[in-house]
Chain A
Amino acid sequence: MAHFLASSTFRQLVLPILYGVVIVAVLPLAAGYIVLLERKVMADMQARLGPMRVGPHGLLQPIADALKLLLKEDIIPQNADRFLFWLAPVASVGMALLAYAALPFGPAFQVADLNVGLLFILAVSSLGIYGIVLGGWASNSHYSLLGALRSAAQLVSYETAAGLGLVSALVWAGSLSMNSIVQAQYDHGVWFIFYAPVGFFIYMVGSIAETNRAPFDLPEAESELVAGYMTEYSGFRWALYFLAEYANMIVVAGIATTLFLGGWLRPFAGFRDHFPGTSIELLDIFPTLLFLAAAAFCFRLVPRQPVKVQKHVMAGIGGLGVVTAAVMFAALFAPPAVMAGIHGAFWFLVKVGAYIYVFLWFRFTFPRYRFDQLMRLGWRFLIPLALVNVIGAAVAIALSEQWGLPPSVSVIITLAATIAVAMWLAADGDKPAAATARAADGD
């Protein structure tokens, strides 16, 4: 048995399949709870409570939603193209899940460490367009087709900018393999967001548009096009589209985390001071403390719950926090591979969660962009800025590796130049000549 666990068949064949099964099994549940999180955060920002009825504090809401969607009647419009109507949500979800094959959730949890991992995820994300376009076409309805074409145009425009934004961090990493990118951030000692802040901004805006999130969610806005390309889909088919959208969100958050936010590295990963007498590093105690603090917060809220069931659930969640803190603490004494795996996964999930929280925050803060404003922003601001940023990153790398300037200096020089160009591009709309040019374009 031990021989089998150490053999290469297990590591190369069985383990990736196992990871894949875990991802496909856990992801729908995770997506459902992100939806609940979104509703709770939206409620919090709007000074109300959100779902509270189904289960204590609404915690069973996703399960109720899933049951409802599974049991709904499957309606197919009359003249719809049945083959494409079936294929479109399947393609959407398939491509969204396929991207997880190269995404590392920590040093120990990755289905496959491809040499071209980053490009593979970008490629598969760009295949998600077909789910949208074919779905809109197959529905045989005006709203669907218009929403699908708008969504596809938006996706195609912003994926160029997002890819170019990634390049500026990629030149510092020197490799396309996700593991090597995180390793490069460890070697440089600093997260690449500090080397390529403009690139991070471009990628963030591009990824919001890629996942059809507000303020770029015109294709699925309810007040604009009913539900865009998802109008005619009901029940489980709609659930698949929804799952694809939230899976895509986690994937772009994963890419941003790996490339810009240090992946599974602890903040200040190079700070290796130990507790006296042990081999445990000082900063590694943070996850344990965080979970203990969360558990304490839950226990403090227990007496304030109005209903006994909610008291029990709150106490249970507090207990869960204590158990997780114990796991994090025990991992400190485990062999280095296990410790890196568990703590790495924790940091990765924290960063992905923070990125998704920013997505949710943007949704409830900014008004929606009109479609022509959206296209203008993509083509006339983001893509030129991304191109200038790539040139700036190349100059920064040349300055720092061939002329020997410290990276911080070269980054600041090119950053100043890029921001100057960005301000010039953004002010494009304020000049009277540009305003008349826009009026002439419009008719």
Chain B
Amino acid sequence: MLNAVLFYFFAVLAVASAILMVTRRNIIHGAVFLITTLLATAGIFLQLQAEFLFVVQIILYVGGIMVLFVFVIMLVDLDLSLHLVQFNRQRFVAGALALVLAAQVLGAFWVSRSSIGPGPAAVVAPQNTEAVGQALFGRYMLPFEIASILLLVAMIGAVVMGKRRI
């Protein structure tokens, strides 16, 4: 029962914040609503008993990436875009495409409706962080190293792009 309450609370919060984010005129308000969406997503992770991902989501996504977004939004002139049209010319075609995509996915759900019920009671590793750590440094060592090189490249790229005179 508590599971269902938590899930619906975080799910409604996530969807509402996402809709608000996409429709705000003031980008900083949009960023704040994206922050609440990400926090609600972290709550869903916790409800799925993925505690390490819950903390990683908050530290990296909300505490890192969104801070970056907020800084850049502050450096970009806000007033310039507050009074202009917010949605572009292709919005109706885009809406139609999104509806087609939604219909496809819902169709996939409908076809497989018998197998998306309650699944087998999967065993949850009691120490989630240990299991993630062992897998990350065991089976997934190569992707881990590649990810670190990717981050190095991104760091260099961001520093170069941010300079005023290269």
**B128 with A84: CB separation less than 8 A:** no
In the complex the two chains form, what is the Cα distance from A87 to B28 in whole Å? Answer: 12
**B35 with A176: CB separation less than 8 A:** no
In this complex, the interface size class of chain A, counting residues with CB under 8 Å from chain B, is 20 to 34
Contact of A81 among B28, B67, B71, B127 (CB under 8 A): B28
In the complex the two chains form, what is the Cα distance from A274 to B63 in whole Å? Answer: 50
Residues of B within 8 A of A127 (CB): 58, 62-63
Chain B residue with Cβ nearest A152: B67
Residues of B within 8 A of A176 (CB): 129
Contact of B63 among A84, A123, A134 (CB under 8 A): A123
Chain B residue with Cβ nearest A125: B63
**B67 with A124: CB separation less than 8 A:** no
Is B70 positioned at the interface, with any CB of A under 8 Å from its CB?
Answer: yes
- Minimal beta-carbon separation of B76 from chain A (angstroms): 12
Is B26 positioned at the interface, with any CB of A under 8 Å from its CB?
Answer: yes
Interface residue stretch chosen among B48-56, B84-92, B98-106, B140-148: B48-56
Q: A123-B59, A123-B63, A133-B67 are in contact. Are A116 and B28 (CB under 8 A)?
A: no
Contact of B52 among A83, A116, A126, A137 (CB under 8 A): A116
In the complex the two chains form, what is the Cα distance from A83 to B26 in whole Å? Answer: 11
Determine chain B's interface SS by DSSP, over half rule. helix
Is B97 positioned at the interface, with any CB of A under 8 Å from its CB?
Answer: no
- Per-residue contact bits, chain A 123-156, to B (CB 8 Å; 1 contact, 0 not): 1101101100110010000000100010010001
Residues of B within 8 A of A115 (CB): 51, 127-129
Contact of B32 among A84, A116, A122, A123 (CB under 8 A): A84
Q: A115-B127, A137-B74 are in contact. Are A129 and B67 (CB under 8 A)?
A: yes
Chain B residue with Cβ nearest A136: B74
**A116 with B62: CB separation less than 8 A:** no
**A84 with B55: CB separation less than 8 A:** no
**B29 with A83: CB separation less than 8 A:** yes
- Per-residue contact bits, chain A 172-188, to B (CB 8 Å; 1 contact, 0 not): 00001000000000000
Residues of B within 8 A of A129 (CB): 63, 67
Q: A115-B127, A115-B128, A176-B129 are in contact. Are A123 and B28 (CB under 8 A)?
A: no
Chain B residue with Cβ nearest A121: B55
Contact of A120 among B55, B62, B63, B74 (CB under 8 A): B55
**B55 with A123: CB separation less than 8 A:** yes
**A84 with B28: CB separation less than 8 A:** yes
Is A114 positioned at the interface, with any CB of B under 8 Å from its CB?
Answer: yes
- Minimal beta-carbon separation of A51 from chain B (angstroms): 37
Residues of A within 8 A of B71 (CB): 133, 149, 152
- Per-residue contact bits, chain A 36-69, to B (CB 8 Å; 1 contact, 0 not): 0000000000000000000000000000000000
Q: A116-B51, A116-B129, A129-B67 are in contact. Are A124 and B58 (CB under 8 A)?
A: yes
Contact of B55 among A83, A116, A133, A156 (CB under 8 A): A116
13 contacts across the A-B interface (CB closer than 8 A): A116-B129, A119-B59, A122-B55, A122-B59, A123-B55, A123-B58, A123-B59, A126-B59, A127-B63, A130-B35, A133-B74, A134-B32, A145-B74
Q: Which 8 A-B pairs have the closest CB atoms?
A: A126-B63, A123-B58, A119-B55, A123-B59, A116-B51, A116-B55, A123-B55, A115-B51
Q: A81-B26, A84-B29, A123-B59 are in contact. List 6 more A-B contacts (CB 8 A).
A: A83-B29, A115-B129, A130-B70, A149-B74, A152-B67, A152-B71
